Amino acid sequence: MIRAYKVAEHTFHLELPDNSPLWNRLGQYAPFEVPPASDPVFSLAVVRDLPLKSGELVYDTPVEPGEPVIKLYRSEEGWMFEMAPAQSRPVAGRMCTGPDFRRGELCIDSSHTGDAVFCVNNSLMLLYAFCTATAGTLEMHASVIGNSGKGFLFLAKSGTGKSTHSSLWLENVPGSELINDDNPIVRIWPDGRIIVYGSPWSGKTPCYRNVECPVGAFVQIRRSGENRMTPLSLPEAYAIIYSSCSGYIVSRDMGDGLHKSMEAAAVNVPCYVLDCRPDSEAAEVCSTEVLGKTYE
């Protein structure tokens, strides 16, 4: 069975056996389901077996505690990925692709359903990032709040307080809604629009909304004993966007595409750093700056 999904106007296919129990565990994709496309951006098929292939290790993710492990190898036929839910866990799945990443085959090596879902999600995210890099698309690591018709992306390393700050907006800033809590998509369109989209990937917080809105600001969250909002220079703005984008650059075209998109975002969207405590005042300081609203 093939099902198609559209995320940030990019359509991709997922192929599983009709009776696979995984379909019942992938409900997060339902809001994004569309009819199959004649020319999807990429497709992923889950297969029973993949021949073991040797290859050159070209990327090994820097691992933080509790974070997944992704390794990328270059093979004669294209590329191979190995993935594990954590550094202490064995490899749960292997994915092979051609040189252009447009067709992936995933073999799940674990008998645990949770590991299988992990492998499907990460394979789709990887293919998405690679195949849309030249199409004005940034797959980001951020928490996004919508308010007043715009989306505000909070950027930081895992565990620094992105989700906490979004929660403070939900509790203290009227009109706020959560768009995505970990992996939104930002697209830079040829007409100059910069739009943030919800996605079927949202980390530990289930928030799989097929919604979109113009980007209002990028805000880097830093822990501090005081609440202070500071506008960033262009090089500083580029740096925080660069550090929050997913994907690995494996070709000049891919690097040029990502650089062009990140530059456009940094030039055209206000960027700030918020030094803050995890309290209501932090949300008020941030929202006052980016929304232009004050509190009594």
Residue 203 is predicted with a pLDDT of: 80
Residue 248 is predicted with a pLDDT of: 76
pLDDT digits (tens, 9 = 90+) for 2-16: 999 999 999 999 999
The structure's pTM equals 0.94
With 0-12 CB in 10 A as exposed, 13-18 as middle and 19+ as buried, what is 53? middle
Determine the straight-line distance between the first and last CA of the chain, rounded to whole angstroms. 56
How far is C-alpha 113 from the geometric centre of its chain's CA atoms?
22
Residue 63 is predicted with a pLDDT of: 62
pLDDT digits (tens, 9 = 90+) for 8-49: 999 999 999 988 889 999 999 999 999 999 999 999 999 988
Residue 55 is predicted with a pLDDT of: 83
Contacts for 96 with CB less than 8 Å, ≥ 6 apart: 50, 53, 75, 77, 78, 79, 80, 81, 104, 105
- Rounded to 5°, the CA angle 21-26-32 comes to 140
Q: Which regions of the chain are under pLDDT 70?
A: 62-66, 293-296
